């Protein structure tokens, strides 16, 4: 493990699986390493974490602390393309500039179309690949060249990538230069928080005055009935009680009844425990909650990356619904972000049109899923036909 070693649980490997050595001295400036199991990925840990910290856009879900536990828990058939660059400086190791986790997926059943898809799972709320901020275009070109030469799919299927910003700009430039056909299969906006001058001014600009007044009244009324306090997990605190209380609180509500709570599945529960422990060990876990008479009635879990964060999950006691504990905790979350000078933004990771968070966070982030043709005829034909097929489908529905 590395100098900043994560307490990452080891996956079960076959006896023949052996750690892959670190990349050898390259024979060319850019190349791709392939890691198709956990052991192989661990040999890239140092370079992988540095890439995550220097990526053109942050994605906590593709960082080692969250990605490796997902491999352990969900056991996908994934191989990861790692784009390396030779560092011309003396005695410098090769520099990892791109991380693309891939799986083969049949998206067009009945058609002979081979797709290579960025891996997503139920709790990966963003699939933007990690690409170095100084070498974004070179990294993407190297990746696409490798796909054409080695993988030879008809299509690339990229779900849940950020649809604006520096990564998207680099992608558009590269696709234009390569004359690559693309099709946006889905696009939506989700709530996003950009830091304001302070929490008070942010809330005043983002929220309805009457609603804020009502939420303050609810909080005041609840505080009159008992001891009400907000707690924040600190680096020196024991994370285990927070993990246990979160799982219990989430399972006590409607998610538990519908069997969608993390605690209802062994794999989901194992995954959550691993990622929270890993992130806490690295100082990248943010958990906060509201306690009433010594009992948590709302808990929130965020994962931090670079100068921002990803709002992973929130849970609250539905017996206190009249006091809006979920809203109250989101207001505390806004205050906590503005108290930390190292945080500039937070992605809600919410579904489109989320009623609560859209009322509280005034900014939006575009999320899109796209198909990219490769150099093969079938891929170009399919991507070229998709707009017409989508239009016909909408006409028939109407």
Span 338-395, pLDDT tens digits = 999 999 999 999 999 999 999 999 999 999 999 999 988 888 888 888 888 777 877 8
Are 225 and 165 within one domain? no
Residue 25 located in a structural domain:
no
The CATH number of whichever domain residue 53 belongs to comes to 3.40.630
Q: Is residue 279 scored above 60 in pLDDT?
A: yes
Rounded Cα distance between 120 and 70, Å, is 10
Q: Is 369 helix (H, G, I), strand (E, B) or coil?
A: strand
Are 114 and 244 within one domain? no
Q: Is residue 11 scored above 50 in pLDDT?
A: no
Q: Is residue 27 scored above 70 in pLDDT?
A: no
Are 58 and 187 within one domain? yes
Rounded Cα distance between 264 and 208, Å, is 37
For residues 336, 5, 40 and 49, what is the CA-based torsion angle, rounded to 10 degrees? Answer: 40
Are 188 and 200 within one domain? no
Residue 359 located in a structural domain:
no
Task: Quickly state the pLDDT bin for 13 (edges 50, 70, 90).
Answer: very low
Q: Is residue 115 scored above 80 in pLDDT?
A: yes
Q: Is residue 212 scored above 70 in pLDDT?
A: yes
Task: Quickly state the pLDDT bin for 2 (edges 50, 70, 90).
Answer: very low
The pLDDT tens digits for 62-101 are 999 999 999 999 999 999 999 999 988 888 899 999 999 9
Are 52 and 158 within one domain? yes
CB distance 68 to 38 below 8 Å: yes
How high is the pLDDT of residue 396? 82
Residue 11 located in a structural domain:
no
Angle of helix 266-281 versus helix 240-251 axis, rounded to 10? 150
Mean pLDDT value of segment 130-139 = 97
| Residue 362: Cβ-neighbour burial (10 angstroms; 0-12, 13-18, 19+) | middle
Number of C-beta neighbours around residue 45 at 10 A: 19
Are 40 and 185 within one domain? yes
Are 251 and 312 within one domain? yes
How high is the pLDDT of residue 5? 38
**Structural domain count, the chain:** 2
Please choose, from the candidates 99, 171, 203, 153, the residue with its C-alpha nearest in 3D space to the C-alpha of residue 379: 153
Are 208 and 186 within one domain? no
Give me the residue label for tokens 């649809």: 163
CA distances from 5 to 2, 19, 64, 233 (A): 5, 16, 10, 21
Poorest-confidence range of 49-53, 148-152, 233-237, 238-242? 148-152
Residue 10 located in a structural domain:
no
Residue 23 located in a structural domain:
no
Residue 299 located in a structural domain:
yes
State what percent of residues in the chain have pLDDT above 70. 93
CA distances from 220 to 31, 202, 215, 277, 357 (A): 60, 21, 9, 34, 22
Task: Quickly state the pLDDT bin for 25 (edges 50, 70, 90).
Answer: very low
The pLDDT tens digits for 296-310 are 999 999 999 999 999
State what percent of residues in the chain have pLDDT above 90. 79
Q: Is residue 328 scored above 50 in pLDDT?
A: yes
Are 212 and 93 within one domain? no
CB distance 169 to 140 below 8 Å: no
Residue 352 located in a structural domain:
no
Are 138 and 254 within one domain? no
Rounded Cα distance between 17 and 110, Å, is 35
Rounded Cα distance between 377 and 373, Å, is 9
Mean pLDDT value of segment 257-285 = 94
Residue 13 located in a structural domain:
no
Are 59 and 90 within one domain? yes
Are 222 and 331 within one domain? yes
Which neighbouring-strand residues pair with 84?
A: 31, 96
Residue-number span of the structural domain to which 143 is assigned: 30-192+366-397
């Amino acid at each position: 493990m590395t100098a900043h070693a994560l307490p990452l649980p080891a996956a079960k490997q076959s006896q023949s699986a052996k750690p892959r050595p670190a990349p050898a001295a390259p024979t060319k400036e850019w190349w791709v390493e392939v890691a198709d199991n956990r052991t192989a990925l661990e040999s890239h840990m140092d370079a992988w974490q540095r890439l995550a910290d220097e990526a053109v856009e942050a994605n906590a879900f593709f960082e080692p602390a969250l990605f490796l536990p997902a491999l352990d828990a969900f056991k996908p058939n994934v191989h990861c393309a790692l784009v390396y660059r030779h560092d011309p400086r003396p005695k410098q190791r090769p520099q990892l500039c791109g991380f693309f986790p891939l799986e083969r997926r049949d998206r067009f059943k009945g058609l002979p179309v081979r797709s290579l898809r960025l891996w997503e799972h139920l709790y990966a709320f963003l699939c933007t690949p990690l690409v170095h901020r100084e070498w974004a275009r070179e990294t993407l070109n190297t990746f696409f060249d490798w796909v054409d030469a080695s993988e030879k799919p008809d299509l690339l299927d990229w779900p849940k990538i950020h649809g604006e910003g520096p990564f998207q700009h680099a992608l558009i430039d590269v696709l234009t230069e390569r004359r690559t056909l693309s099709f946006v299969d889905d696009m939506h906006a989700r709530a996003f928080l950009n830091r304001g001058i302070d929490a008070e001014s942010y809330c005043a600009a983002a929220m309805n005055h009457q609603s804020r007044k009502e939420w303050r009244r609810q909080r005041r009324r609840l505080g009159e009935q008992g001891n009400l306090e907000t707690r924040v997990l600190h680096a020196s605190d024991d994370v285990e009680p927070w993990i246990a209380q979160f799982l219990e609180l989430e399972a006590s509500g409607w998610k538990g009844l519908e069997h969608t709570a993390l605690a209802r599945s062994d794999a989901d529960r194992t995954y959550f425990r691993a990622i929270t422990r890993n992130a806490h060990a690295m100082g990248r876990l943010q958990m906060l909650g509201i306690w009433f008479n010594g009992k948590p009635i709302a808990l929130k879990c965020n994962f931090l990356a670079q100068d921002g964060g990803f709002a992973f999950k929130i849970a609250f006691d539905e017996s206190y619904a009249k006091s809006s504990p979920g809203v109250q905790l989101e207001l505390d979350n806004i205050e906590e972000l503005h108290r930390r000078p190292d945080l500039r933004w937070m992605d809600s990771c919410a579904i489109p049109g989320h009623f609560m968070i859209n009322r509280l966070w005034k900014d939006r982030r575009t999320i899109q899923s796209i198909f990219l043709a490769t150099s093969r005829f079938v891929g170009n034909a399919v991507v070229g036909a998709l707009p017409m097929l989508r239009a016909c489908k909408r006409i028939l529905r109407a």
